[in-house]
Structure 1
Amino acid sequence: MRIALLTEGVHPYAQRAGGGWCRRLVEGLAEHEFQLHLLAGDGGGSGGGGGAGEGPATYGPATYELAMWGRRPAGRGPAAHRRRAYVRAYRELVRALVLPGERGSFASGLYRLAELTRQDGALPAFLASGHAQRVLEREWRAPGADTAAGQPLVRDVLVAGDLLEQCLRPLSAPWYGPGPGRLGAVDLCHVVGGGPAALPALVAKRLHGVPFVVTEHGLHLREQYRSYRSAPYRWPVRALLLSFFRLLTEETYREAAVLTPGSAYDQQWQQRCGADPARTRVVHEGTEAVGREAAGVEPEQPVLVWAGALEPGRDADLMLHAYARVRAELPGARLLVYGEESAPGYLDHCKAIAERLELGEGVRFAGLPESTAQAWAAGTVVVFTGLTQRSPRLLADAMLSGRAVISTEVGVAREVVGPSGLLVPPRDPAALAGACLALLRDEERRARFGLAGRLRAQERFAVAPVVTAFREIYLELVSHWPAFPAVDGADGGVPRPFARPAEYWVAGAMAEAH
């Protein structure tokens, strides 16, 4: 069957890279014909125009790029007689973003803008025009509008209008229709990452009846809420953009044929955002690291390894305070802290704590390791102390090393570690120190946990089960979905594989036989 992979490239605040995962999926499902539609950062090999490129060597399929961020695409605004239709549709969309009672009009405004720009391609120019800015300012300042406890200034209107234009660019992408490389000619769409990458899938379903699957390894909406906390915009702008992402997420979950979160933890978040449990199936993110050999012999001295970004959310403070208790009972124990500072001043903060606790040479801030495998091999026990644990990737990687793992019981930790490691409450240095001492003093238990963790990670995060899961999802989805020929019939009557459910051909054969 023909499958369009839709994903987003580099985002200014929330970077997500799905390239390696997409490559593994394409290589594992060689029987299908894939094409990659990429929302790039500021243009790419196809110049942001959406044309077909040869595709990066790691992908294989033809690649079509659209510049999401940066300079607005060239083009003229709508004609005067069509401008009124654009204004009405945009007003409907903006009112859904700022007025709590108008949330239901988001989808109709969105699809109306998509229909209008498909006819003349004037949406980017319209959104940058004074007409759109006046609509945004008038509705944003209307009585009852949600402005996050602050009235929008003129500069807020200009900034928010520019950001909305960039978020809505996929509506005017040259990807729709029944021609080669267009979404109307595929059997289904697969959205990887959510967010604006889902816009083309929503439009393709609306225009051509093409169903779509959504895969999220870490929820797009949750990452937007985190990233916009530090975005250089005033609160009214942040509230408006987060409202857009929230409503887009709800519409995506409502229209998706199948949702495949990367963990049960993410599945719960999706259901809080309106996802239907009956259309949700957890598919863990596969990793090629399952074939990596286990770490070798443990170091001669007991060593605790902590790895992660140096920021408050990872709570390296907890590790330092727990290590102080461990060292008091096991003076020979050492602590290795691997990671790069992602919050300014946090590394100095951690060093000040180590100095105050008189940890001396027992703790070493080792920076970024050459590889995660090298970091795990340098320790006796691996410890995670985050206040949240949104992704299973690093936990699974540590378990694949064969080292015993201790983690705070947050996020996906229980789901990933299970009975193959120790879980402790967050922000509890006494409990963490007790868990560390228990494993450092018991070599047999460490070995048992290490082997159990490695086997558990290999079983759950191998690439083959992921490929098998999506092979089944694709076939089940297309076999049950009603026939969806292109709207204008430009195929010329040429049959396409899976363009109709299997029952159609069986019934036809029986009728012909009689």
Structure 2
Amino acid sequence: MRIALLTEGTHSYPQRAAVGREPGWCDRLAEGLPEHEFERFVLLAGASSATDRPDPGIRTLALRGPRPAGRGPGAVRRRHYARAYEQLVQALVLPREHEAFAVGLHRLAALAREDGALPAFLASSHAHAVLERVWRSPGADTAAGQPLVRDVLVAGDLLEQCLRPLAADWYGDGPGGLAGVDLCHVVGGGPAALPALVAKERFGMPFVLTEHGLHLREQYLGYRQAPYRWPVRALLLSFFRLLTAETYRQAALLTPGSGYDREWQLRCGARPERIRVVYQGLPAVARPAAGAEPDQPTLVWAGRLEPAADPESMLHAFARIRAELPGARLRMHGPEGLPGYREHCAAVARRLGVSEQVEFSAEPRLLAEVWAGSTVAVFSARSLPQPRPLADAMLSGRALVATDVGVAREVVGPTGLLVPPCDPPALAVACLALLGDEERRARLGLAGRLRAQERFAVEPVVASFREIYLELVSQWPAFPAAERRAGALPRPFTRPAEYWVAGDTPSPTAAQTGAGSAEAMAQAS
């Protein structure tokens, strides 16, 4: 079958082509399922770099930078655009209108499909006037502050960028069009889900959503430090919140990367019967375990130097460890999450009297080299939403100490020591317990490596999606509204079996209700 992979990224070429990079998740999936044909659609969220080599097999759309070229709508069409845009903005800022979000979204998509003037309209003064009028209406949610004119201009530009996928030339039935695929697979969520929502509305095509880090959660964290006033932040977060809810509602299946993400999806309105946890496969499961431990007892901490990772708790715990074990050393690897935070941590180490035994270094190219130089791996973060850092440390075969937050309990289980967050005494006790017991370190390290290999191998992920694709195509057949093109050769699995039954081609509506396919098969028999 043909599957459309919809992603948001910074490269218009497969990651396997980048020097020094391991294959990306989408690349590993496509390589593991050679029996299917994958079409790649990428929303470019960042500026292209000098090494960005366009791939002819990948269709791209830039979300940032200048808007796509094109003329604005005429006077009559502009009124249609204005009404649809007003409905969308009302859904964003008026709590009682949230249910109209999907209607406004699809009305804009239908208008854009007819004349392609959506980007030009959203950048026009007419769209800004609609946004300002609705945003300042009584009862609008403005995050305790009336939007200024500059807020309207900034928010209008940001909404235009978010809505660009609605006007993409991806929805045709020709080669490389979404109408010619059997299934959409959205990886990451957010704006990447917009083409899948349009394809489902137009063609009745099902889609799968895979999240290895919840897009909505990342937006909430990112907008805490965004350079916008609160009204703009509130408006954009409302857009992402409603888009996430609509995506969860329309997806045939959600495949979060952890049970922790599954709980977040449930809180955002996802239906439990449509969720299936599929752990992110890691190529690192095939690498050998780290070799002999260093001569000196060494704790290795890896992460971004920022308050969320809580390196200060690690430093305070290490001061207690040094009092019990004077020969211990601490290595802290990672980039600065905040300017000047590395120097702040160095000042804390000097104040605690352990600066000579603490080494700060930038994040290395390969984390395997970090864990190889450790006796015990330590995570002191206040939040651990991603399984990958923990799994990578476990694959090294080193014993692990982590704070009991996020995915830690789910990933580590009984193969490591979990302590409460922001508790340096408990962290110190756990580290000392492992540093003083070589047999226990070896036993927990081996158990953690086996657990990570079992949960994060690539093969089970590929097998899971092979089953998911076949299951969804069999339950959610897509029937195109267009007639079969003359001279076109049939492609296996490109259409469900009942499409090829002699007689009239079922309509999309009939196919979704099941009545059309039953009728056609009855006539054939």
Normalising to structure 1: TM-score of the pair? 0.93
- Give ranges in structure 2 of 5+ residues lacking alignment: 12-20, 502-517
Aligned to 2:513: none
Pairwise CA distance, 1:291: 0.6
How many angstroms apart in 2 are the aligned matches of 1:371 and 1:122?
47
- 1:455-507, CA deviations, whole angstroms, 9 ceiling, x for partnerless residues? 0000000110100000000000001113x222222544754433554578899
Match of 1:173 among 168, 174, 179: 168
- 1:44-88, CA deviations, whole angstroms, 9 ceiling, x for partnerless residues? 69xx9xxx9644xxxxxx210111111011111112111111111
How many angstroms apart in 2 are the aligned matches of 1:335 and 1:150?
47
Asked whether 1:485 is paired with 2:489, we answer: no
How many angstroms apart in 1 are the aligned matches of 2:327 and 2:140?
62
How many angstroms apart in 2 are the aligned matches of 1:121 and 1:508?
37
How many angstroms apart in 1 are the aligned matches of 2:67 and 2:58?
21
Aligned to 1:468: 463
Match of 2:270, SS state, is coil
Match of 1:318 among 313, 319, 331: 313
Asked whether 1:65 is paired with 2:60, we answer: yes
For structure 1, which segment, 223-232 or 500-509, has the greater mean C-alpha deviation from structure 2 after superposition? 500-509
Asked whether 1:9 is paired with 2:2, we answer: no
Aligned to 1:30: 34
Match of 2:210, SS state, is strand
Pairwise CA distance, 1:513: 11
Aligned to 1:182: 177
Aligned to 1:41: 45
Q: 1:35 to 1:19 in 2, by over 3 A?
A: farther
Pairwise CA distance, 1:371: 1.8
For structure 1, which segment, 415-424 or 336-345, has the greater mean C-alpha deviation from structure 2 after superposition? 336-345
How many angstroms apart in 2 are the aligned matches of 1:267 and 1:408?
20
Pairwise CA distance, 1:9: 1.4
Match of 2:81, SS state, is helix
How many angstroms apart in 2 are the aligned matches of 1:371 and 1:90?
47
Q: 1:491 to 1:406 in 2, by over 3 A?
A: farther
Aligned to 2:507: none
How many angstroms apart in 1 are the aligned matches of 2:520 and 2:147?
65
> Map of 1:97-112 to 2, 5 A cutoff?
97-112=92-107
Q: 1:317 to 1:85 in 2, by over 3 A?
A: same
- 1:318-360, CA deviations, whole angstroms, 9 ceiling, x for partnerless residues? 1001111111011111111111111112111111111111113
In the alignment, is the contact (CA less than 8 A) between 1:406 and 1:436 conserved in 2? yes
- 1:217-276, CA deviations, whole angstroms, 9 ceiling, x for partnerless residues? 000000001111111111100000000000000000000001000000001001111111
- Give ranges in structure 1 of 5+ residues lacking alignment: 12-16, 56-61
- 1:23-49, CA deviations, whole angstroms, 9 ceiling, x for partnerless residues? 00010001000110011136769xx9x
Paired residue type of 1:166: Q
In the alignment, is the contact (CA less than 8 A) between 1:5 and 1:190 conserved in 2? yes
How many angstroms apart in 1 are the aligned matches of 2:440 and 2:133?
66
How many angstroms apart in 1 are the aligned matches of 2:102 and 2:523?
44
In the alignment, is the contact (CA less than 8 A) between 2:415 and 2:448 conserved in 1? yes
Paired residue type of 1:489: E
In the alignment, is the contact (CA less than 8 A) between 1:43 and 1:65 conserved in 2? no
Match of 1:162, SS state, is helix
Aligned to 1:357: 352
Q: 1:53 to 1:307 in 2, by over 3 A?
A: closer
Cα-Cα RMSD: 2.3
How many angstroms apart in 2 are the aligned matches of 1:172 and 1:282?
32
How many angstroms apart in 1 are the aligned matches of 2:357 and 2:63?
48
Pairwise CA distance, 1:372: 0.6
Q: 1:298 to 1:272 in 2, by over 3 A?
A: same
How many angstroms apart in 1 are the aligned matches of 2:163 and 2:107?
12
In the alignment, is the contact (CA less than 8 A) between 1:44 and 1:67 conserved in 2? no
How many angstroms apart in 2 are the aligned matches of 1:170 and 1:513?
41
Asked whether 1:430 is paired with 2:425, we answer: yes
Paired residue type of 2:434: L
Pairwise CA distance, 1:210: 1.1
How many angstroms apart in 2 are the aligned matches of 1:353 and 1:446?
29
In the alignment, is the contact (CA less than 8 A) between 1:485 and 1:499 conserved in 2? no
Aligned to 2:210: 215
Aligned to 2:132: 137
In the alignment, is the contact (CA less than 8 A) between 1:305 and 1:376 conserved in 2? yes
Identity %: 69
Aligned to 2:292: 297
Pairwise CA distance, 1:126: 0.4
Aligned to 2:340: 345
How many angstroms apart in 1 are the aligned matches of 2:301 and 2:227?
32
For structure 1, which segment, 366-375 or 67-76, has the greater mean C-alpha deviation from structure 2 after superposition? 366-375
Match of 2:369 among 359, 371, 374: 374
> Map of 1:140-151 to 2, 5 A cutoff?
140-151=135-146
Number of aligned pairs? 497
In the alignment, is the contact (CA less than 8 A) between 2:145 and 2:230 conserved in 1? yes
Pairwise CA distance, 1:315: 0.2
In the alignment, is the contact (CA less than 8 A) between 1:18 and 1:192 conserved in 2? no
How many angstroms apart in 2 are the aligned matches of 1:137 and 1:235?
15
Paired residue type of 1:423: L
Match of 2:151, SS state, is helix
Match of 1:365, SS state, is strand
How many angstroms apart in 1 are the aligned matches of 2:5 and 2:213?
18
In the alignment, is the contact (CA less than 8 A) between 1:97 and 1:106 conserved in 2? yes
- 1:104-140, CA deviations, whole angstroms, 9 ceiling, x for partnerless residues? 0100000000000100000000001111000000000
Q: 1:19 to 1:225 in 2, by over 3 A?
A: farther
How many angstroms apart in 1 are the aligned matches of 2:195 and 2:185?
10
In the alignment, is the contact (CA less than 8 A) between 1:481 and 1:501 conserved in 2? no
Paired residue type of 1:9: G
Pairwise CA distance, 1:366: 2.3
Q: 1:395 to 1:98 in 2, by over 3 A?
A: same
In the alignment, is the contact (CA less than 8 A) between 1:215 and 1:261 conserved in 2? yes
Match of 2:43, SS state, is strand
Normalising to structure 2: TM-score of the pair? 0.91
Aligned to 1:58: none
How many angstroms apart in 1 are the aligned matches of 2:163 and 2:524?
52
Aligned to 2:152: 157
Q: 1:468 to 1:126 in 2, by over 3 A?
A: same
How many angstroms apart in 2 are the aligned matches of 1:22 and 1:355?
45
Q: 1:501 to 1:263 in 2, by over 3 A?
A: same
In the alignment, is the contact (CA less than 8 A) between 1:381 and 1:439 conserved in 2? yes
